[in-house]
Chains A and B, each alone.
Chain A
Amino acid sequence: MSSIKRWFVTTNHKDVGILYLVTSLFFLIFGGLLALLIRVQLLQPGGTILADAAYNQTVSAHGLLMVFWFLSPLAFGFANYVVPLQIGAKDLAFPRLNALSYWLYLFSGLLLGISFFQGGTFSGGWTMYAPLNVPIYMPSIGATTTVLALLMFTASVTVGGVNFLTTIHRMRAPGLTLRRMPLFTWTILLTVWMMLFAFAALLAALMILSSDRIFGTVYFAATDSGGSVLWAHLFWFFGHPEVYIVFFPALGVMAEIFQTFTGRRIVGRKWFIASMVLVAIQSFMVWMHHMFLTSINLPVKTLFMATTIGISLPFDLMVFALIYTTIKGKIRFKTPFLFAFGALVLFILGGITGVFLGAVVLDYEFRGTYWVVAHFHYVMVGGVTGLVGGIYYWYPKITGKMYDEFLGKVHFALYFVGFNLVYFPMFLAWETPRRVFDYPEAFTPWHQLATVGAFVLGASFLVMFYNLYASLVTGEDAAPDPWRYVTTAEWAVPSPPPLENYPGRPSYDGGALQFLEEAGPRPSGIAAADGGAGTRTDGGVAATADGALAGGHDHEESHASIWPFGLSLAGFFLLVGLSGVNTGGTAYVALTVAGFALGAYTLVGMARESQTFHGPSGPFGESWPFAKVENMKLGMWFFLASDVVLFGAFIGSYVFIRVAFGWGAWEPVPHDPVPGLMNTYILLTSSFAVVMAMVAAQKGSRNGVVASLLVTILLGIGFLGNKGIEWLELFHEGLWLSTNVQTSTFFLTTGLHAAHVIVGLFIALYMLVRAWGGAYLDDDKPVEYFGLYWHFVDIVWLFLFPLFYIL
């Protein structure tokens, strides 16, 4: 396979990890250049390099790029590369979905890049407050593209989250119980749990916003019905967990580096983990502290003040645990440790200044000022500092070469000085209003220091890029363990690790890591069981990881898939098209259609490939608490869990708007509940039909499977037909998406449900074709997984029907 083609078709976790790392550093440069532009503008009060709209676009894109396209993906580069190695897995549970996450991420970033050339990118800040984010106030097509880019990024995160959750929960080596997991893996596990729910809320917010921008619904423009505050709730419900989502992986990297370079095990390990679990849960209960100056009342403020202080305390424990780990250490000040140590110092400063914000009376005055800017840069870029330590820490493992230690230290010195020079003066000039391109004369020295610091910080990365690039060629070869006192499994294999990761089956059953001899070829039934939607393929498929050991090249071939790239490209075309489709421009319409067509083609291609493409197969060592659930089923459950939050956010938005409007004064949009009632019965019946299909598959009745699936499809079509008639009537009465807030919520929420039905129908149609060919008779699992989805969609309707037709 040619070396360039390899990167387009790879599904290997180490390759995807490298792609993530390199791409995220590219977006660091992109976001960093924007930051330098901001600092150049702020060199003098009254500067005019970037005024008004240009400045707003710059700060918005800078924030979005750094938070979404740089920070998390950098962390997920490490997660991809290191987590499977640490837990003893040969790859992630769903290798093609992993590649899909990456390509969705890359193309979403390209979308954001394109938005600059469509009349200007989004200019309302990374918090995208409503109603500034709707077309009346921000009409550019580029703003829509930005929202869609974020939507695509969210899809990437959701797919990736499901993948990591399944992998970490199901595929640990024997003896590696959850309690024994390395800290970096722990932080990633908690990060993806938070991602699963937080990004589902963001997805809802972005879907509604996209609909407001493209289809003309009036959620966020409905300021008389709380539309403005609704956005703030949705955004911060996502936004606060997001802080921990970007910080936790850095914490994990810091914990690993501290242990290695002090030669000590972390102090209070179980309390460290308990603290992180607590933070992960509580992170969903603090969001209103971003809204202390909105109209929330005193009891609510008090509650959120308490939860906010509560969430800061576990971090105290974590910080002290790291500090005490250095005691009795044998500390080696190598570059990774310098960065991890520096990150802890910065995080402590960020934490202390965060306590200021926890005092509501002070928060009132800090709101919208550089205090907030300085504080969250200390925390978030503090996290970046830890991750940069991770770059140096794992560079020898990933490349097999040592970086240059002297240049590494130069990088740290410039970085640490630059960092404090750019962000500390912001505390001193904290009265400067945020996102304003001007400031009072009195603050000039501080802002000039900050500008100088920004350039020093930026230059320090040039040193890093040079070091990493030159060391690829001139660096010494790295031993499997170049550091000493490491404990985790990635250091027990060569640098870089071979394709199959381990020389044998990793196990901790004997009290420490061992590589057991590979068990003999397993019955292929087990191999295929986790493969998912395909039929069992008897032998012949060298796609299982075991097969790989027999013939490396085969492995590579069989683990190559172009469909993740193709599908993401299709999504890219589709979203570029959608961004301007309401302008009626031919190019936009054509791109939309082309994107749809390519998407359908690639989805079918990917589904067909499932019959021969299998992820790592069990049995795995530790799978608590999901030992009895196969990977595919568990993945489906995780996906549905995020879908619950998505619908929950839609229903919550509806209830919020309706309460603000006046619950009783709100008339349901359909005057007649009968079509809705009919549809309830139709969907319930279709759920029985799916159950019948499964029963028929278990009994080995091909005709039974075909007939039951056919009934399911017909009922689904009936549901949509009935709904279509109902919508058409409403349309003729002059009620449509954009008519008012009642119709907007009705059409969009039930429309989202209808879209779920349509997706289900396409899957059912695909399965019908395969069932006709005799599939599923000896493996009914795909029918079962489809059934899970279909039942879920039915259950959602049971909530929507009373909410939108009866109450």
Chain B
Amino acid sequence: MLITADGNHHTGEPMNTGVAVQSVVQIGDLIPRGTRMNVFQSIYWVFIALGTLVGVVVVGYMVYNAYRYREGGSHAEDGDDERPTLGEIPTGGGKGRKLFLSFGLSAVVVISLIVWTYGTLLYVESPVAAQESDQEELEIQVVGRQFSWEFVYPNGHSSFELVVPEDTRVRLVVTSDDVFHNFGIPSLRAKTDAIPGQTTETWFIADQPGEYQAHCYELCGAGHSGMNANVVVMQQSAYDEWYANTSGGGGNTSDTSGNASENGTRTTSEALTA
């Protein structure tokens, strides 16, 4: 509990997780990696498939038994020699072995699923350690406030639209200026809490240029529903050009804080009319 008071250790100790990831890598290529979308999709669909299967089997079995042993059915007399009586001391019926067999089976399924995803969690928590090349990484500060998102680039440029290059890992360092928010870009599968007084981190790699939306995922006040931001993914060259035009703009940085509320209102009203 105490450890969590410190907001700066979101990724854990890179050393430990690094070692862990390496050992996991040796297990095989079962662990999904790549962009956050890849990771999510592969795990999600395995869960959906298995979940549906388990659900259909279990509920089907329930309904089958309920029908088979219905009153008036041909099997209804099967257990007539051992029906409970009023006032007896409660005891259990038999079939303990069958119970433990099913329980054991379900435990194996659930635990192996979770262990499998844990390898991916290690990757998501510490992608650098798992990476082959020394690919460049872009770090952007995200500040949430009622009811807008501000993005601050390494050169000090700040804006209310997140512009990033494709195929580059973008690391978001997220905080809040007022209440508890949560920053998420659903299509890029990046999400993390924006907590006042603390920073958290998340990352994503966008492999398709285009426009995306970021939302707030924690109820944060009257304008919560409209607390969105545009995310623009550009080709590397276009991004470089865009970024070069911002780098000189020290003045750009200073006047954005004044624009914050105005811009926030605009975003909100846009969402309302959308």
Please list the residues of chain A having a beta carbon within 8 angstroms of any beta carbon in chain B: 46, 48, 51-53, 55-56, 59, 123-125, 129-132, 137-138, 175-176, 180-183, 223-229, 232-233, 259, 262-272, 288, 291, 293-302, 305, 309, 312-313, 316-317, 319-321, 323-333, 341, 344-345, 348-349, 352-353, 355-356, 358-362, 364-365, 367-369, 431, 433-438, 481, 485-489, 491-492, 508, 511-514, 652, 655-656, 659-660
Judged by a CB distance under 8 angstroms, whether B244 is at the interface is no
Max count, chain B CB within 10 A of own CB: residue among A125, A309, A352, A362: A352
Tell me whether B93 and A265 are in contact (CB under 8 A).
Answer: yes
**Residues in A whose Cβ lies below 8 Å from that of B223:** 52
- Inside 8 A of A53's CB, which chain B residues have their CB? 222
Assess whether B106 is interfacial by the CB under 8 Å rule.
yes
Taken together as a complex, chains A and B put the C-alpha atoms of A317 and B180 apart, in Å, by: 38
**Beyond the given A132-B220, A341-B62, could you list 9 further A-B residue pairs with CB under 8 A, ordered by the A residue number?**
A131-B180, A132-B179, A223-B196, A264-B79, A301-B121, A489-B87, A512-B88, A513-B86, A660-B6
Whose C-beta in chain B lies nearest to the C-beta of A46? B274
Nearest chain B CB to A347 CB, angstrom units: 11
Size category of the binding interface on chain B: 35 or more
Q: Mark B254-274, 1 if CB is under 8 A from A, else 0.
A: 000000000000000001111
Please encode chain B, from 212 to 235, with 1 for each CB lying within 8 Å of some chain A CB and 0 for all others: 000111111111111000000000
- Whether B99 and A309, one on each chain, are in contact in the complex, defined by CB atoms closer than 8 angstroms, is no
Q: Is chain B's binding surface mostly helix, strand, loop or mixed?
A: mixed
A295-B199, A329-B69, A345-B59 as given contacts; A269 in contact with B43, CB under 8 Å: no
Q: Per-residue CB proximity of B74-111 to A under 8 Å, as 1/0?
A: 01111110111111111111111011101100110011
Write 13 A-B pairs (CB below 8 A) sorted by A numbering: A56-B219, A175-B89, A225-B197, A272-B92, A294-B193, A295-B10, A297-B4, A298-B17, A313-B110, A319-B58, A355-B110, A367-B182, A487-B85
Please judge, given known A-B contacts A264-B93, A324-B98, A330-B76, whether A360 and B117 are in contact too, CB under 8 Å: yes
Among residues of B, the one whose C-beta sits closest to the C-beta of A344 is: B62
B195 near A348 (CB under 8 angstroms)?
no
Closest to A231 in B: B180
Residues of A within 8 A of B78 (CB): 328
Closest-CB distance, B219 to chain A (whole angstroms): 4
- Cα A352 to Cα B113 in complex, Å, equals 12
Using CB atoms, name the residue of chain B closest to A438: B225
B residues within 8 A CB of A272?
Answer: 92
Does the CB pair A369–B217 fall under 8 Å? yes
Inter-subunit contact A352/B51 (CB<8 Å): yes
Q: Are A368 and B179 also in contact (CB < 8 A) when A263-B79, A305-B118 are?
A: no
Q: A436 contacts which chain B residues (CB < 8 A)? A: 215, 224-225
A270 CA / B193 CA spacing, docked (Å): 42
Determine whether the beta carbon of B90 is less than 8 Å from that of A267.
Answer: no
Q: Roughly how many angstroms separate A229 CA and B146 CA in the complex, as a whole number?
A: 18
Cβ A294 vs Cβ B95 within 8 A: no
B23 beta carbon closer than 8 Å to chain A:
no
Across-interface contacts of B6 in A (CB, < 8 A) = 295, 660
- In the complex, what distance in Å separates the CA atom of A355 from the CA atom of B117? 12
The minimal Cβ–Cβ distance linking B86 to chain A, given in whole angstroms, is: 6
In the complex, the chain B residue whose C-beta lies closest to that of A221 is B196
Contact of A362 among B44, B54, B70, B91 (CB under 8 A): B44
B96: chain A residues at CB < 8 Å are 267-268, 271
Residue numbers in B under 8 Å from A435 (CB-CB): 219, 224-225
Contacts of A316 in B (CB 8 A): 102-103, 106-107, 110
Bound-complex Cα distance A368 to B146 (A): 17
